[in-house]
Amino acid sequence: MTLPAAFVDALVAALGAAHVVDDPAALEAASVDGLDRDGHPPDLVVRPGSTAEVACVMAACDRWRVPVVPRGRGTGYSGGAVPVRGGVVLSLERLDRILEIDEANLLAVVEPNVITGDLQAAVERVGLFYPPDPASLDRCAIGGNVAECAGGPRAFKYGTTGRYVLGLEAVLPTGEVVSAGGRTVKNVVGYDLTQLLVGSEGTLAVVTKVVLRLLPRPPVTATLRVAFASVDAAVAAVLEIVRARVIPSVVEFVDRLSLDAVERHLGIGALVPADAGAMLLIEADGLAAEVEEQVARIAEACGRTGALEVLRAASDAEREQLWRARRELSPALRALAPLKINHDVVVPKARIPDLVTLVAELQRESGLPIPCFGHAGDGNIHVNVMVDPADAEALARARTAERRLLEGVVALGGAITGEHGIGLTKVPFIGLGLSADELALMRRIKRAFDPHGILNPGKIFPDED
Amino acid sequence: MTLPAAFVDALVAALGAAHVVDDPAALEAASVDGLDRDGHPPDLVVRPGSTAEVACVMAACDRWRVPVVPRGRGTGYSGGAVPVRGGVVLSLERLDRILEIDEANLLAVVEPNVITGDLQAAVERVGLFYPPDPASLDRCAIGGNVAECAGGPRAFKYGTTGRYVLGLEAVLPTGEVVSAGGRTVKNVVGYDLTQLLVGSEGTLAVVTKVVLRLLPRPPVTATLRVAFASVDAAVAAVLEIVRARVIPSVVEFVDRLSLDAVERHLGIGALVPADAGAMLLIEADGLAAEVEEQVARIAEACGRTGALEVLRAASDAEREQLWRARRELSPALRALAPLKINHDVVVPKARIPDLVTLVAELQRESGLPIPCFGHAGDGNIHVNVMVDPADAEALARARTAERRLLEGVVALGGAITGEHGIGLTKVPFIGLGLSADELALMRRIKRAFDPHGILNPGKIFPDED
C-alpha cells in the first residue's frame, strides 16, 4: 500500500527519522516468524522508544487507517507477528529493559522485549524463580509470551504465562494508554483486562510494560530420563504418575521419530536404548526431602507401566544435555522434510492414548512422517506433519491429515492450540474450536478495543463477507 | 416497575408457573446479600432448572428490556446480587449439582449453585483438593465465587478462584449459550473469555456450568498461631517469612480489636496472651518433610521479629478452633456497632506497614473503632469502619475515613478491592482505581456482551450522564 505522506511525517516527527525505517532488508526481516513463514512485507518498520511514542504510532495508524502489527523477537509459530496487509510493523526492540526486581513483593517489572531466559537468570541470581519456559526461551521475549500466553514444560506444575502476569501497561489501537491489574496478586476492580490481553495475539492492544509474579526458587531439581518400549507405555506412565498424586514440574514426551531426528541434528549418540519407542523427560522440584519422595513415586509409577530404564541426571551437565535435546526438537525436525506443518494440540491428559492412536492412523493414511513430542502432563502435544510442499499430491495428503487431526482433537474434548495461538496459520480452523456465537462475541470485543480494525488485521478472525 | 404481561407469560411458558415467583417474602429475600444490605426488591424471582431455561429468561429480558440480576446464595459483601432497579432476579438455586469429578484429568464439573465447602469435601474424599476457601465457604456457592473471583486465606500459596477455572458455560444477555475454555489447562483459541467472565460480577453473562481444576490433596498441614506484641511486629514477620523463601499456604493477620470481638462473640477464652497486640494464623502444607522444613523456617522468621509465642495446633480439634475463630471474625465485628463499612483493600505486601499506620491515623481522627484482619500474605486486609448510622455526625466521620482509606491504598500502589468486587458499594470509588479511559474501555466491553444494558444494571459502573 502507499502510505500517506502526512502519516509518515507524523511518525518521523514523533520518533525521529532514525526509527522510521523502510530499507528492504529491514522490511523483509519483519515479515517472517519462527517458522520462516512468508508474510507481506510491511511498508515501514517503526521503533518507538517509549510508551508515549507507541501511543503516537497507534494514534497515527488509527487516524490514517494504516494496518499496524506489533512485533517482538519474531519467534512465534503461528504467524502472529507476520504482517499480511502491509502497513507498519511496530517493533518493540527498544523496550528491552528489566525495570525492577522487587524481592519483598515477589515481582518483576519488565518491558516487553526482555528475553525470557534473561529474566529467568536475573531473578534466579537473587533466589527467585520465573517458571514459564517456552522452548525458545533463549531468544523469545516476554511480550510475545504474554501475547500468546506461552506455555512450556514447567506449565504442568506451574501454569502458563498468564498465571504470572499481575499487571500490564498497554496502548489501545486508538492511542490511549491503559493500565490493567497492578502489583498485587488480588485485584478485582472492574473487568480483568490483564487476562483478556494475555493471549490476545497482539490484536487488542500493544503491551508496553509487564508486572510479573515471581516465586521462591526451588532449591533442588531432579531430572529423570525414562525409556519405554512404546508410546502407549509412556502415556500410561503419565496417567499413573497423576494417580500417584504427584505433580512433577515437567513431564515431557518424545516419540521415536523425534528422538531419531534430534540425535542426528545434534550429532549425539542414542538418547535412549535403540528398542525404546518413546521417552519421558521428567523433573521434580522443591525442598530436598520433597523431591526425593516425588522421585520415588515417579519411578514406581513408571516401573508399574513397564519402563525399560529410569535414569537420573547425576550432574548439571547431564541435565543440560537432556534439555538441549528437548529444546532442539523443533529445529531438528526440519531435516525430515522442507515443510513442517506444526500443531500444538491439547487434549485432557487421559485422552492422550486416543490422540496417539489417531496420529498413528494419520501416519498410515498419509504415508508421511508425523513426529510428536511435547507436554504430556498437560495433554499438550506438538504434532508435526512433515512434507515436501513441491510434491502437490503429498501436500494435499498432509493438509487432509492436518484437518483430521484438528477435528479429532476437538472430538476428544481438546483444543486446536494450547500454546502457539491461532495467529495466521490456524484461522481456517477456528470454526472447529469456536461456535458462530462465540466468534461473533469475540469480534464485538475486538471492536470494543479497535473500532477501525487497524491492529494486527488478518489474525485470529476469518475475513467477514 | 410494572412488568409487561406478555413477558411474564413467556417466563411462565418456559419455566412453569411454580418457578416464576412473586410472593413478597421471596422478593424480599432476593433483595439482600451477606451484609443485609437493602436493595430494591425485584418484581419477580425466576428459578430456571437448566441452561436452556436460563437462555429463555435472558432472551425474554432482553426482548422486553427488563433488568435481570443473577443470584446464587446471596453471601456477597459488595451488593453484586442485590437488585437496584427492580425487574427479575434469576435465582440459580436449582442448578446445584456436582456433575463430575474426573480424577484422571484432575478436574470437576459443577453447576453454579454448588456450595464451595461441599465441593471441597467431595474432592477431598478421593484425595484431591480445591484450594479457594472464602471465609463463607460453608454457605457461599461456586457461581458467586466465580462472579467475584473470590479469594480466601489459601490464596497466598494457591491463588484465587480464577486460577482454578478451566472453562465455563454461560448465557449471554441476548440469550446465546457460549462455552469458554474447556477441560484442558492450556487453551489459546481466541480471547480468554473464561478469565474475562471470572470477576465480572454478573454483569457480562450468567454462568451455568464451571470446569474447575483440582490438585492432589496435600497430605500434611501444620497450623501455627503466633502472637506478637504489636501489629508492626506481626507485619514484619510476614516480610521475614517471604525473605526466608517460604510460601506458607496461609498467613492470616488479626488485630487486637478483632481478637477481642471474636473472643466475645464465640464466648471463648483468650486466643492469645492478653498483652498480644496482634496474631498471625499460619499454615504450611505438603509432604511431611517439606512441612517440617517450612515450619522451622517460619518459626525462625517469627522469632527474629519478636514473636511472643509460637504455638502449633496439636490436633484437628485445635486447628478447627483456630479456624472457627478466623471464619467468625466478620460476623463477630457486628457486635461493635450496627454498621460495618467493610473494605477488602489490597497493597503490595511490603506496604502493609504503611497501611497499618494509615488505619491507626484514621482511627484517631475518626474516633471510631476500625478493626483489621485478613490475608497478610497477599497484602489483602479487611478494614472495617464500625459506626452507628443513627449518629449522623459519626457516620460522616466514618465516610471520610472510608474515602481516605481507599485513596491511601491507591497511593500505596494497591487496589480498592481484592476479593469482594466493586458491586454496588464501591461504585462511588471506582474512579480511584481506574482512569476514565480504562472505564470507557470496560463500558465498551460491557456493551459487546449486553447491548441493551439489561444484565445486573447499576453494578461496577457509575451512571452515565
End-to-end CA distance of chain B: 22
Look up the pTM and report it: 0.96
Whole-number Å distance between alpha carbons of A48 and A54: 6
Query: How high is the pLDDT of residue A325?
Result: 87
Helix, strand, coil fractions of chain B, as percent rounded to 5: 40, 20, 40
Mean pLDDT of the region B141-169: 96
Mean pLDDT of the region A438-459: 98
Mean pLDDT of the region B183-189: 91
Residues of chain B in contact with residue A105, where contact means CB-CB under 8 angstroms, are 348-350, 379
Residues of chain A in contact with residue B241, where contact means CB-CB under 8 angstroms, are none
Query: How high is the pLDDT of residue B279?
Result: 96
Q: Is B200 in Cβ contact with A191 (below 8 Å)?
A: yes
Q: Which residue of A has its CA nearest to B415?
A: A187
Mean pLDDT of the region B24-31: 94
Please report which confidence band the pLDDT of residue A465 belongs to, taking 50, 70 and 90 as the band edges. low
- Choosing among A102, A189, A435, which should be mutated to test the B contact, i.e. which has the most B CBs within 10 A? A189
ipTM for this model? 0.96
Asked if pLDDT for residue A38 goes beyond 80, the answer is: no
Whole-number Å distance between alpha carbons of A144 and A81: 9
Please report which confidence band the pLDDT of residue B324 belongs to, taking 50, 70 and 90 as the band edges. confident
Query: How high is the pLDDT of residue B325?
Result: 87
* Diameter of chain B measured on Cα atoms: 71
Asked if pLDDT for residue B429 goes beyond 90, the answer is: yes
**Which range, A107-121, A234-248, B321-335, has the best average confidence (pLDDT)?**
A107-121
Asked if pLDDT for residue A39 goes beyond 90, the answer is: no
Mean pLDDT of the region A128-156: 96
b/e per residue, A405-430, with b = 16+ CB within 10 A?
Answer: bbebbbebbbbbbbbbbbbbbbbebb
Please compute Rg for chain B using Cα positions: 22
Residues of chain A in contact with residue B190, where contact means CB-CB under 8 angstroms, are 422, 430, 433-434, 438-439, 442, 460
Query: How high is the pLDDT of residue B270?
Result: 85
Whole-number Å distance between alpha carbons of A192 and B208: 20
Whole-number Å distance between alpha carbons of A418 and A376: 12
Q: pLDDT digits over A394-426, tens only?
A: 999 999 999 999 999 999 999 999 999 999 999
- In B64-186 the beta strands, taken as DSSP E runs, fall at 68-71, 88-91, 98-102, 107-110, 128-129, 165-171, 177-181
Q: pLDDT digits over B347-393, tens only?
A: 998 999 999 999 999 999 999 999 999 999 999 999 999 999 999 99
Comparing CA positions, the residue from A93, A90, A131, A126 lying closest to residue A112 is: A93
Q: Is A445 in Cβ contact with B188 (below 8 Å)?
A: no
A230 and A277 Cβ atoms separated by less than 8 Å:
yes
Q: Is B293 in Cβ contact with A415 (below 8 Å)?
A: no
Residues of chain B in contact with residue A448, where contact means CB-CB under 8 angstroms, are 441, 444-445, 447-448
Query: How high is the pLDDT of residue B144?
Result: 98
HSE, side-chain direction, 13 A CA sphere, residue B337: 21
Asked if pLDDT for residue A136 goes beyond 90, the answer is: yes
Residues of chain A in contact with residue B429, where contact means CB-CB under 8 angstroms, are none
Mean pLDDT of the region A104-112: 96
Residue B110's CB is within 10 A of a number of other CB atoms, namely 26
Per cent of chain A over pLDDT 90 is 89
Mean pLDDT of the region A175-190: 94
Backbone angles phi, psi at B281, to 5 degrees: -110, 115
Q: What is the mean pLDDT of chain B?
A: 95
Query: How high is the pLDDT of residue B46?
Result: 98
Comparing CA positions, the residue from B143, B20, B56, B42 lying closest to residue B92 is: B143
**Residue in A198, A245, A441 nearest the CB of B192:** A198
CA distances from residue B79 to A241, B36, B319, B426 in whole angstroms, order as listed: 44, 9, 32, 9
Q: What is the mean pLDDT of chain A?
A: 95
Whole-number Å distance between alpha carbons of B168 and B264: 42
Please report which confidence band the pLDDT of residue A132 belongs to, taking 50, 70 and 90 as the band edges. very high
Q: Which three cell numbers stand for residue A78?
A: 503461528
Asked if pLDDT for residue A177 goes beyond 70, the answer is: yes
Interacting residues of A390 by C-beta distance below 8 A, sequence separation 6+: A338
Whole-number Å distance between alpha carbons of A54 and A168: 15
Q: What one-letter code names the amino acid at B46?
A: V
Mean pLDDT of the region A213-218: 96
Asked if pLDDT for residue A96 goes beyond 90, the answer is: yes
Chain B nearest-CA distance from A115, in A, is 22
Whole-number Å distance between alpha carbons of B181 and A415: 9
